[in-house]
Chain A
Amino acid sequence: MARIIVVTSGKGGVGKTTTSASISTGLAQRGYKTAVIDFDVGLRNLDLIMNCERRVVYDFVNVIQGEATLNQALIRDKRVENLFILPASQTRDKEALTAEGVQKVLDEMSETFDYLVCDSPAGIEHGALMALYHADEAIVVTNPEVSSVRDSDRILGILQSKSRRAEQGMDPVKEHLLLTRYNSERVERGEMLSLEDVNDILSISLLGVIPESQAVLNASNQGSPVILEDESEAGGAYADAVARLLGEERPLRFLDGNKKGFLKRMFGG
């Protein structure tokens, strides 16, 4: 039985797809057979970040509608063993994701995979609800700003009421906070919420803090999950997040990772 993880946020542009790509890559690197599924039907971009857009023949909707088998649609990653991508359809609309269809596909994948990472679309509409419905765990991606935190709070409420685990009265979905695009300098200047502020509002367990970094943008443009950039801070932070997801203890890094801050502390009083 695979463990199903949804990567969600409510708000758009906070780093859901980047996170889905890196977390799934990290899990596969650890030896777990992992599939990352793009639920963003109509606006797919997971395959771009995973650099497999030229290899898409069939997609998630084809499988749901019985036009292709799972094996035909799954794309094997070329860099990391054990990693597979199930791309979304560019040409259908979100209604093509039916509850029964999604259930059927996830059930079939559960038999052979260790982890299924569901990349949710933004918003709280049908596509997002489909992505979170089957989740065992949820990674709530949040930027340190008020509207993102508010949307995350909303999506946590929906996880508690609209997920399968909630509807069937099972143990609740395990919630993790992943704070992305964290810029300690701007936090110090009061332009961004601090980790403490976000924690105070959302009060869920912290999976990691990903520093704002040029490496993330570069990696996306090159079609490579940033976790593969070992030297970058963001890559290291994602590796830590994967470790914590697997139950390991890791100290928080990169919270004050800029030189200016250090000098300011030395001389600025």
Chain B
Amino acid sequence: MSEPAATATDNRACFELRGASQTLTVMELHHFDPDALERDLRDKIRQAPNFFRDLPLVIGLDHYEGNVADLDFFQLIGICRTHSIQVLGVRGGDDDIRRLARNAALAWLPGGQASTPRAVPEPEQDTAESSEESTPETTSTGAGRLVTQPVRSGQQVYAPEGDLIIMAPVGAGAEVLAAGHIHIYGPLRGRALAGVHGDTSASIFCQSLEAELVSVAGHYKISEDLQGDDWRTPARIRLEGDVLTVDPLTR
């Protein structure tokens, strides 16, 4: 049974509604001073011009400390427009602010949690820094992290989202952690913790097992328990059920 093509087109609804989530940049406003805003915005844009071009922006008012009467959304939109930033709406604030936003033809979004301000790329900062001392030079590709320098005693390297690959020794007293696997192309003499967020399928690979501690998803073994046939040999450490096992890395 075939129907004429024209009828099919007519029958189809002209739109459908779908839920979608989109990451947006929020400008958390602390107070409103048109001149200061204009100046600070220009400074930010100079740091990362491409980031701001036609940027959809939400004005966050959860941390607004100034007087509501000072809030002039028309002026705010104007300042953003001159820098080709598109203000979509307003987040947070009370009923007064909601009314002001509606008058300025801005959408109103329910208040967000008190999240820390981020989003704008500050000039080159390493977010995965966790120890008091900074870590050896690393490059990250996607979620993984690549380290080419030795990890020394007292240093810590953390790959919070993916695998960690280290092309150098991990010294005694050093600590390497990853959400995923840990590959060490060198001896492992310090501590290695894979699957720190609970990924039980994570493994640790090293060219010489001399570790102080190895752990996968919270199951760990200390040096004393590792002094078997695999000590000082290439090895893979993984979870088999609830048991941390060490396998030789044969080629």
Contacts and interface: CB of A to CB of B under 8 A. Distances in A.
B168 A153 contact: no
Nearest to B133: A161
Contacts of B150: 156, 203
9 contacts: A150-B172, A153-B153, A156-B152, A157-B136, A157-B153, A161-B135, A162-B133, A201-B169, A201-B171
Given A158-B133, A160-B152, A150 B173 contact: yes
Nearest to A159: B152
Of A150, A154, A157, A161, the most chain B CB neighbours within 10 A belong to A157
A157 B169 contact: no
Interface in A173-212: 200-201, 203
Contacts of A157: 133, 136, 152-155, 174
B153 A154 contact: yes
A166 interface: yes
Interface string B164-199: 000011011110000000000001010000000000
Q: Please provide the 8 A-B residue pairs with the shortest distance between their CB atoms, ordered closest to farther.
A: A157-B152, A161-B134, A153-B153, A154-B153, A161-B133, A157-B155, A153-B171, A154-B154
B149 interface: yes
Contact of A160 (B149, B173, B174, B187): B149
A148 to B, nearest CB: 12
Given A150-B172, A153-B171, A153-B172, A201 B189 contact: yes
Contact of B152 (A154, A162, A166, A200): A154
Nearest to B151: A157
Contacts of A150: 153, 172-173
Of B134, B171, B189, the most chain A CB neighbours within 10 A belong to B171
Interface string B116-138: 00000000000000000111100
A203 B169 contact: yes
Interface residues of A, number: 14
Contacts of B149: 160
Given A153-B173, A162-B133, A203 B168 contact: yes
Interface of B: 133-136, 149-150, 152-155, 168-169, 171-174, 187, 189
B155 to A, nearest CB: 5
Contacts of B134: 160-161, 166
Nearest to A149: B172
Given A153-B171, A154-B173, A157-B133, 12 more contacts: A150-B173, A153-B153, A153-B173, A156-B150, A158-B133, A160-B136, A160-B152, A161-B135, A162-B133, A166-B134, A201-B172, A203-B169
A5 B197 CA distance: 43
Interface of A: 150-151, 153-154, 156-158, 160-162, 166, 200-201, 203
A161 B129 CA distance: 12
A153 B133 contact: no
A158 B133 CA distance: 7
Contacts of A151: 153
A145 B217 CA distance: 35
A161 B135 CA distance: 7
A203 B169 CA distance: 9
Contacts of B173: 150, 153-154
A150 B152 CA distance: 9
A162 B134 CA distance: 8
A151 B171 CA distance: 11
A151 B149 CA distance: 18
Contacts of B152: 153-154, 156-157, 160
Contacts of B172: 150, 153, 201
A156 B151 CA distance: 10
A156 B154 CA distance: 10
A181 B242 CA distance: 48
Nearest to B189: A201
Contacts of A160: 134, 136, 149, 152, 155
A161 B131 CA distance: 11
Nearest to A204: B150
A113 B174 CA distance: 38
A158 B189 contact: no
Contacts of A162: 133
Contacts of A158: 133, 154
A151 B153 CA distance: 8
A162 B149 CA distance: 16
Contacts of B168: 203
Contacts of B154: 154, 157-158
Contacts of A154: 152-154, 173
A169 to B, nearest CB: 9
A206 to B, nearest CB: 15
A151 B172 CA distance: 10
